[in-house]
Amino acid sequence: MNPFRPNASAVKLFAMLALSAGVCVSAASAQDRGQARSMVMSRQGIVAAESPLAAQAGVAILEHGGNAVDAAIAANAMIGVVEPMMNGIGGDLFVIVYDAKANKLYGLNASGWAPKALTPEYLHKQGLRDMPQEGINAITVPGVVDGWQKLADRFGRKKLADDLAAAIRTAQDGFPVPEMTSAYWSASVDLLRGDDAAAKLYLPQDHAPKPGEIFRNPELAQSLQEIARGGRDAYYKGAIAAKILDAMKRHGGVMNAQDLAEYSSEWAEPISTTYRDWTVYEMPPNGQGLAALEMLNILETQPLGQKDTGFGSTKVLHAMIEAKKLAYADLVRYIGDPRKQKFPVNTLLSKEWATQRAQLIDPDHANCDPGPGIMAGGNDTTYLSVVDRDGNMVSLIQSNYSAFGSGIVAPGTGFILHNRGGLFSLDPASPNLLAGRKRPLHTIIPGFAQKGDTRMAFGIMGGWNQSQAHAQFISDIVDFKMNIQAAIEAPRFTKKTFTGCDVEMENRFSQKVRDELTAKGHKIVVKGTFSSDMGGGQVTLRDFATGVNYGASDPRKDGEAIPELPQN
């Protein structure tokens, strides 16, 4: 199988993409293809990020002697400047690093824990019966800066100050706000007005910046400069920590100095499964990546990619939607923070479990209330992918959880504090029950896959969309023989709820297929051609047999895959 060539069915299904992109479609034309963009190809490094400025920041680091990890930190820091609603140094981070020389994967879980005093009992005394989704009690310790430090210390070639330099300059000098960023910003005005410091920072002249308006954030530049000089301790023990704790007191929060100072991100072995002739990797719990692997295992029992099970067919989409429901039911029932708890990860990853679960798929009817298997005894995120000229690769995802997170800014810091604590449960029977110094079940997941001499770092953001999007992307590559750009552009569905038969689907799936799915009981909500509800992804791929790197960027975002220029 050639992983770089879209098959005939993909070309036919995506012809409208080419038309919408202004490509003249003709059977005689060499440019008759099923994707709006070409893959980026280079023998040098490539950075794929949802912001061109972020991708360029990463490429500049590569061109000045940095490696994939340095470039990923630089790109991530820049996205925190130019897309502050999505991510930043008030959020969490997960990373998969591929060390080409060692031919080994490393995972880093830089998700933060709950303050020690943030307990169900404490929230009950505040009159709360469910986890708050914004405000002071939704804030957990942000993990990203500690994650940057561990990545730089273990793998980086450049100083952290070098990696952060472009982001610092951009925050200080300002940047024109892009169209999509402006739209997200405008949607969060009411949340930002709920906190004086957030409104002062993010609503200059009392409104969200319009497209093309210059936004400057000298306070964020100062915070990044302090991190550049003092590393993670500047954030968790120094002046930044003091400002965060002052905000906690002002809002009546329970986070204290020890919660910040004692936090540490953790190295973790990625988990994996085989899907046909590929091996696919995700981060272990507390992330949701296990659901992507279980979904792929269930799909492996289905005959996808054959005569009547081509891409976009009713049989394929029904099988995928039903597999999603089963895998996510298991996720919610069995997975949380594994520290001090034992979870059945090996069972959920097993082919035997998938075969058992797949038997519950009725080919003629949608299951509107799938339960977890029985055992004996939102979507505001950024993802980026990097490959350097030596073949080192980084799959990195970082998030505030919801747009502008908790809605709270510690005055003088220049960044929003995330609301990741909103993902805890107050159900005593849940493995995701809130507890002090515990990490919540996480939505953000970096992905990685390999086959033979091919290595691929990929991710698709968007809350609970992510595992199901990962599985669809891998199936597009493996079952339908699409190249990475065609696969990241391909129409997707998403079901962000855990019960019911509702499912969102892009309008590029045919009306006939949507009608047939409706007849099976699916309740379809039709979305736009490239809907942001389906998340946005980035991909880099390395063919070690030829030494060629490939990059792809999702048109659902504003990003690019940008190659490094050859060096003397």
pLDDT, one tens digit per residue, over 423-467 is: 999 999 888 999 999 999 999 999 999 999 999 999 999 889 999
Domains assigned to the chain: 1-174+216-275+379-563 (3.60.20.40)
Cβ atoms of 310 and 488 within 8 Å: the answer is no
Select from 341, 349, 353 the least CA-distant residue to 431: 341
The alpha carbon dihedral of 552, 553, 555, 559 has a sign of negative
Q: Which residue has the tokens 């290595």?
A: 455
Q: Which backbone phi and psi does 242 adopt, to 5 degrees?
A: -60, -40
Strand order in the sheet with 447-451: 40-42, 548-553, 537-543, 454-460, 447-451, 278-282, 271-275
Residues of the chain with pLDDT under 50: 1-6, 8-30, 376-377
Res 31: pLDDT: 58
Work out the number of other CB atoms within 10 angstroms of the CB of residue 434.
Answer: 23
The structure's pTM equals 0.92
Distance of CA 364 to the CA centre of its chain: 33
With b for 16 or more beta-carbon neighbours within 10 A and e for fewer, the 449-478 pattern comes to bbbeebbbbbbbbbbbbbbbbbbbbbbbbb
What's the pLDDT at 13? 44
Angle at 455 between CA 452 and CA 456, to 5 degrees: 135
DSSP codes joined into one string, 219-256: HHHHHHHHHHHHTHHHHHTSHHHHHHHHHHHHHT----
CB 18 within 8 Å of CB 36:
yes
pLDDT of residue 12: 46
Which among 112, 135, 144 has a CA at the least distance from the CA of 195?
A: 135
Cα dist from 402 to 103, 218, 339, 415, 563, whole Å = 36, 24, 25, 14, 31
**Per-residue CA distances from 486 to 38, 45, 316 (Å):** 8, 21, 18
Token readout for 20 is 């919408």
Within 10 Å of residue 372's Cβ, how many Cβ atoms?
16
Read off the amino acid at residue 255. Answer: M
Number of neighbouring beta carbons within 10 Å of residue 522? 23
User: Which residues have a catalytic role annotated?
Assistant: 381
pLDDT digits (tens, 9 = 90+) for 386-426: 999 999 999 999 999 999 999 999 999 999 999 999 999 99
Please give the Cα distance from 518 to 536 (Å, whole number). 26
Q: Report the DSSP pairing between strands 502-506 and 523-527.
A: parallel
Residue 375, pLDDT score: 53
Per-residue CA distances from 476 to 303, 363, 457 (Å) = 14, 21, 15
Looking at residue 340, what is its pLDDT? 65
